[in-house]
Amino acid sequence: MDGVVTHRTVEVGQYVQAGQAMLEIIPLDDVWVIANFKETQLAHVRSGQRARIHIDTYGMDVEGWVDSIAGSTGARQALLPPENATGNYVKVVERIPVKLRVRDSRLNGALRTGMNVEVTIYTR
C-alpha cells in the first residue's frame, strides 16, 4: 500500500510480539475528510451529495461527496463520554461526524491527518 508512516513505535533491532502495534500507514490514494456537523445542520444531508472542501493549509477548494453519516454523535464515540447528571437538564447540540470522499489529483498525498478544512455540502 502506498502511504505515509506515522506513529512508529519500533526501531531497527527491537523485538516485537505478535499483535503488537508497530506503525500506522495513512493511504495516499484513498483520501477522505471527517467533518463534525451540528445535529441541527444535517436535516437535508444525504449520502452521495456533492460537497466543496476548502483546505486551509493550501488555500484551495476541492470537490468531494458525502460518503456516510456516523451512527452516533462524537461524544458517544469518545473514550470517556460525558455524564451530565447534575439534576438540571440542559440541551446541548451534539456534533455528528460526516465522512466526505475526496478525489482530486492536485492533492498528490498532501492532505494530512488533523488539517483544518471548511466543508460546504450542496443539499439542493
Give the tens place of pLDDT for each residue, 79-94. Answer: 666 666 666 667 778 8
Other Cβ atoms less than 10 A from the Cβ of 121: the count is 21
Q: Where are the domains of the chain?
A: 28-121
Residue 25's pLDDT is 87
- Superfamily of structural domain 28-121: Efflux pump adaptor protein, beta barrel domain (2.40.30.170)
Which range has the worst mean pLDDT, 19-23, 60-64, 80-84? 80-84
**pLDDT, mean of residues 44-70:** 94
pTM for the complete prediction? 0.76
Q: Tell me what percent of the chain is helix, strand and coil, each rounded to the nearest 5.
A: 5, 35, 60
Supply the mean pLDDT for the chain.
85
